[in-house]
């Protein structure tokens, strides 16, 4: 894992971080315990970085930024950037079902690797590793934290309408790599569709598209 940028003095920690439960045995533990620890280390590093990046931000503004940076999708994106999937150790069935590309597996492994770096060295080394891998995401946290679904709901409520509804129009592709088409709908008939590889992402994209449509219509 040269892209990780940390030479392990105890390589077995990295091996454990990359071992999925589908391949674990009594003598080969999986990465779940490391994932638990890595999630906490990541949260601490990101929280500290956000405080330094914006000394004037309130807790109400910092919380959604933190959530955006530590959520599973973001961890999976970072894992993809360093090609962590290629190094995952999976059972045959998980490997055949596309496990190396699954968001949940990649996100869990990324957190486990952060814990492995921490245990192999110290918190400062883990902090430097996280800051290097997350890079400009921290500077762009405010934009990442924008929640189109919440904004669309606020728009509707301000006009006396019930919350928007999200309908799954279509799901296609294999189980390990599905594609969703979601339609965001308002009581006044306004609606917009979007496509993404997860329901959550498709809902957010549909809400964002509908907001833009409403803004253009209403000036």
Active site residue 48: no
Per-residue tokens: 74: 């973001």
Nearest one of 210, 195, 85 to 152, comparing CA atoms: 210
Contact criterion met (CB below 8 Å) for 183 and 193 = yes
Cα atoms found within 13 Å of the Cα of residue 45, Cβ hemisphere only: 27
Contact criterion met (CB below 8 Å) for 99 and 177 = no
Per-residue tokens: 151: 């904004």
- Distance from CA of residue 108 to its chain's centroid? 10
DSSP state of 84: G
Q: Can you name the residues that pair with 172 across neighbouring β-strands?
A: 179
Q: Which of 39, 94, 108, 120 is catalytic?
A: 39
Distance set, CA 40 to CA 118, 138, 158, 205 (Å): 11, 17, 38, 29
Q: Which of 30, 111, 120, 183 is catalytic?
A: 111
Active site residue 124: no
Which residues have a catalytic role annotated?
A: 39, 111
């Amino acid at each position: 894992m040269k892209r990780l940028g940390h030479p392990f003095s105890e390589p077995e920690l990295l091996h454990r971080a990359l071992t999925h439960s589908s391949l674990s045995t009594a003598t080969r533990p999986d990465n779940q315990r490391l994932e638990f620890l890595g999630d906490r280390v990541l949260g601490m590093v990101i929280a500290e970085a956000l405080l330094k990046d914006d000394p004037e931000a309130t807790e109400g503004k910092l919380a959604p930024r933190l959530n955006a940076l530590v959520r599973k999708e973001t961890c999976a994106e970072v894992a993809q950037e360093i090609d962590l999937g290629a190094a995952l150790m999976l059972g045959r069935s998980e490997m055949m079902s596309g496990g190396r590309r699954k968001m949940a597996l990649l996100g869990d492994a990324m957190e486990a690797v952060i814990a492995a770096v921490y245990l192999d060295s110290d918190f400062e080394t883990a902090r430097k590793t996280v800051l290097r891998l997350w890079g400009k995401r921290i500077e762009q946290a405010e934009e990442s934290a924008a929640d189109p679904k919440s904004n669309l709901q606020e728009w509707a409520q301000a006009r006396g309408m019930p919350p928007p509804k999200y309908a799954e129009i279509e799901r296609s592709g294999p189980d390990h790599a599905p594609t969703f088409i979601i339609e965001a709908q308002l009581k006044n008939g306004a609606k917009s569709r979007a496509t993404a590889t997860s329901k959550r992402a498709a809902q957010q994209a549909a809400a964002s598209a509908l907001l833009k449509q409403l803004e253009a219509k209403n000036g």
